[in-house]
């Protein structure tokens, strides 16, 4: 893996630069859409600390095993969707950085650049 990265370092940096160019303006934003369902903290009751809306995200690393066995959303009558990677990343980020949408957006840009880089390498291998 290191060999692949070191041989293609300029290519990765190219994709990272373009990812930051196109999506870097999202770093300054807060959470949006359904992110707030999982991440935005409730206003604390006097004497209690902020807690994410999703109880498993609030547990940080301890909640990860249960995240992989549960659904994404719940309401009074049912549960729906299965997005363990998304909630796991939110839990890890919350455990390390706390409530930090800017760091979340930056990590998403890094992951996007990595996925584009891996896709490029795959296509390069397929068409060579």
Task: Provide the token pair at 85.
Answer: 């990677």
User: Contact 91/60 with Cβ under 8 angstroms?
Assistant: yes
More confident residue, 126 or 37: 126
Task: Provide the token pair at 119.
Answer: 């896709």
pLDDT band at 4 (very low <50, low <70, confident <90, very high): confident
pLDDT band at 54 (very low <50, low <70, confident <90, very high): confident
- pTM value is 0.77
Q: Output b/e per residue, 2-39; b: 16+ Cβ within 10 A.
A: eeeeeebeeebeebbeebbeeeeeeeeeebeeeeeebb
Model confidence pLDDT, tens digit, residues 106-124:
999 999 999 999 999 999 9
Angle (deg, nearest 10), helices 101-126 and 84-97: 130
């Amino acid at each position: 893996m290191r060999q692949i990265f070191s041989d293609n370092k300029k290519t990765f940096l190219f994709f990272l630069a373009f990812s930051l160019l196109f999506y870097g303006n999202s770093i300054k934003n807060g959470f949006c859409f359904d992110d707030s369902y999982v991440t935005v903290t409730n206003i604390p009751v006097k004497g209690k600390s902020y807690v994410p809306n999703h109880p498993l995200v609030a547990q940080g690393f301890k909640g990860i095993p249960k995240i992989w066995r549960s659904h994404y959303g719940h309401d009074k009558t049912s549960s729906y969707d299965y997005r363990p990677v998304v909630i796991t990343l939110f839990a890890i980020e919350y455990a390390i950085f706390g409530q930090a949408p800017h760091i979340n957006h930056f990590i998403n840009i890094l992951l996007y650049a990595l996925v584009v880089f891996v896709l490029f390498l795959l296509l390069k291998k397929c068409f060579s």
